Amino acid sequence: MQFSARRYDTCDAVRVELAEQRLARATLLPAADEPLPWLAPGFVDLQVNGYGGQEFSSPQLTPEKVAVIVREHWAFGVTSLCPTLTTQSFECLVHGLGAIDFACQSMPDIARSVPGIHLEGPYFATEDGPRGAHPIEHCRRPDWDEFRHLQEAAGGRIRLLTMSPHFDEAPEFIARVAASGVLVAIGHTGASGAQIRAAVDAGARLSTHLGNGAHRMLRRHPNYLWHQLAEDRLMASLIVDGQHLPPEVVKTFVRAKTPQRCILVSDVSGLAGLPPGRHASSGGDVEILADGRLVIAGQDQLLAGASQPIGVAVANVMQFAGVDLPTAVAMASAHPNLLLGRPAGTLRPGDAADLVLFDLVERPAPRLEIRATIVAGELVYGRLA
């Protein structure tokens, strides 16, 4: 496979050749007669809850529906994603995890795009605010035996666990989970500074969607946002869809953590892609407002997931935090890959051919328009010049 594009990191026009699922070479071209799309490593989204009316944490999930969700995300430039199951009953989680595992076992193209599963919950407090939209009746204390059974149901594919570290038993539990090879993230928490430090000492390495899943009113200082921002051992995932965090907060978080410790996620809801109106979800009724926000039904302030793909975050973080295109792309590709223990993903010969081609439109507001997505050297979405 061959095509022409412009590198996202050097701006050079190149002729790209792919072979055996890898980038074989990228040859410099003279100035192009017409604009070329940008070429970058494919986006890696650690937090995808579903799409188009289907959630991963649902008793109606099937392997076929898993495949549909993954393939739909190729259109967003996503070459790898972590199917995310949120707080639910043990039986519901077992079902969803099993469906994802079967999809990966039976469909090689899906397995190539799923480096692991993200389990967001169920080990959260029942407290309003930090709990977010997670159903109160299914929030519970950490349980190693339960987690082990969930991992068995997933075929060992759980790669990331988000939990609150405020429980007395959290440090010991986090240490066991981390020792089993699973990344532990802090999220949906009202934990104290001491509890956050203990969690990080035990092996926690990420703050999940920092700034969201929090009290609506916080003590000025200290509070758990400052503690996580100041903890250099924690990376932070951010939902930069223009709805979950104001631009000034994104700018402050990126500067405090540094771009190297920031990861962009979409947190796309299973209801994303549906028309405005009231819809049922596993966590209760959700309403999609005219402006695209997903909120807990009956009000317009408490969000219940996101509706925008990760490419929106790439464009927004450039505008909000003043970072350049290579930095923004790294936050959506190299940084999540490295957190997962995978190669960062560059455009060097021999790298995996997981690529996205896009146009960066500047007006009326910066946005990415995806032209093509390539997974393991195969064109899975769009067209190539």
- Domain with residue 64: its CATH number is 3.20.20.140
Q: Over the stretch 180-205, which tens digit does the pLDDT of each residue have?
A: 999 999 999 999 999 999 999 999 99
H helical segments located in 44-89:
63-74
- From the CB of residue 306, how many other CB atoms can be counted at a distance below 10 Å? 29
For residue 30, is it within any domain? no
- pLDDT for res 346: 87
As a whole number of angstroms, the distance between CA 279 and CA 80 comes to 28
* Token reading at 232: 């250099």
Q: Are 328 and 339 in contact (CB under 8 A)?
A: no
210 has pLDDT over 90? yes
Residue 319 lies in a domain: yes
- Please say if the pLDDT value at position 179 is more than 70: yes
* Structural domain total, the chain: 1
Whole-number pLDDT of residue 296: 83
Give domain status of residue 243, yes or no: yes
pLDDT recorded at residue 167: 98
DSSP one-letter string for 319-358: HHH---HHHHHHHHTHHHHHHTTS----SSTTSB--EEEE
pLDDT digits over 119-169, tens only?
999 999 999 999 988 999 999 999 999 999 999 999 999 999 999 999 999
Percentage of the chain modeled with pLDDT above 90? 85
Omega before 326 within 30 of 0, i.e. cis: no
pLDDT digits (tens, 9 = 90+) for 77-120: 999 999 999 999 999 999 999 999 999 999 999 999 999 999 99
Residues 6+ positions from 233 with CB-CB distance below 8 Å: 200, 205
Q: Which of 45, 101, 241, 267 is catalytic?
A: 267
Q: What residues make up the domain containing 135?
A: 41-345
- Give the pLDDT confidence score for residue 286 in this predicted structure: 85
> Known catalytic residue: 109?
no
Phi, psi of 76 (to 5 degrees): -100, 5
What is the rounded distance in angstroms from the CA atom of residue 342 to the CA atom of residue 23?
17
The predicted structure's pLDDT at residue 146: 98
CB 354, CB 376: distance < 8 Å: yes
**Cα end-to-end span (Å), the chain:** 11
Closest C-alpha to 29, from 11, 45, 43 = 11
Cα–Cα distance, 339 to 343 (Å, whole number): 10
Longest CA pairwise span in the chain (Å): 64
Residue 327 lies in a domain: yes
Asked if pLDDT for residue 257 goes beyond 90, the answer is yes
Does 97 map to a domain? yes
Which tokens is 158 given?
């759980």
Q: Region 170-177: what's the mean pLDDT?
A: 98
Q: Are 310 and 92 in contact (CB under 8 A)?
A: no
**376 within some domain:** no
Alpha helix segments (H runs only) across 214-308: 224-230, 247-257
Work out the burial of residue 186: count CB atoms within 10 Å of its CB; fewer than 13 is exposed, 13-18 middle, 19 or more buried: buried
- pLDDT tier, 370 (very low <50, low <70, confident <90, very high otherwise): very high
Q: What is the pLDDT of residue 284?
A: 75
Average pLDDT over every residue of 277-296: 83
Using 50, 70 and 90 to split pLDDT, how confident is the model at 300? confident
Examine residue 378 and state whether it is found in any structural domain, yes or no.
Answer: no
- Angle of helix 170-179 versus helix 193-202 axis, rounded to 10: 30
Is 104 among the domain residues? yes
Which residue has tokens 């519901």? 92
- Read off the tokens for 26: 């990228």
Rounded mean pLDDT, 361-379:
92
- With cut-offs at 50, 70 and 90, classify the pLDDT of residue 283: low
